[in-house]
Amino acid sequence: MTAVLPARAPGAAAPLPPAAEAARTGLLRACARFAGRWSLRALVAAAVLAFVGLALGPHVLDYRTMTMLTGSMAPNIEPGDVVVSTPLDVSDVEVGMVITYHIPIDDHRVVTHRVIEVDHTADGTVSVRTQGDANDAPDPWTAVLTGDTAWQMRAVVPEIGNAITALRDPVVNKALVYGAPALLAGWMLLSIWQPVRDEDDEDDAEADRA
């Protein structure tokens, strides 16, 4: 009697042996666990760095941050971007620089605009005229830079200002206050429990092979 083996379609891959299939499945699961674990750690690290850089950094290091609220400096600075400014001697302010300062009228709000004119008086006072890159006309005021220090824009962090604004929402703020500690505790417990589960999986695999 002659046994007839089923013919394999041309180009079809040979089926993997059960042991090889199990090994491949185990490898995929291990890779997924590894990726999930380190993705969570990277997310936590990024959140901590952003908090340190934007919330704590300006209090301990020599720079300031400000969220752009309007499109007056587009496209270089869009609404929601965070402007990072560093100190500069007032006497060194020049035409073409982008500076952050308090306007001399209305609510004395802070703006970040480009210097288009600088005037140095005999008594050392420095006054400037500015204009937003996206505006058709100069700002309708002349600002006197008080003190010895001006603030020059050095970097722009895109979009993160929108996240900061969202975090100030009362509902989101409460969720972070109560939810963040719970997530951190869960992450720590998962880190402790995960190796034990891996060892149990290995013991079960050895028992199946036996």
Other Cβ atoms closer than 10 A to 75: 8
Q: What is the pLDDT of residue 30?
A: 73
Helix 170-209, helix 160-167: angle, nearest 10: 100
Q: Tell me the β-bridge partners of 88.
A: 150
How many residues are listed for the chain in this entry? 210
Residue 129: exposure state from Cβ atoms within 10 A (0-12, 13-18, ≥19): middle
Q: What is the pLDDT of residue 136?
A: 95
User: Of all residues in the chain, what percent carry a pLDDT higher than 70?
Assistant: 56
Pick the more confident residue, 51 or 105. 105
Q: What is the pLDDT of residue 196?
A: 47
Confidence band of 158 (pLDDT split at 50, 70, 90) = confident
Whole-number Å distance between alpha carbons of 146 and 125: 8
Q: What is the pLDDT of residues 167-200, one digit of tens each?
A: 666 776 566 666 666 777 776 777 666 554 444 4
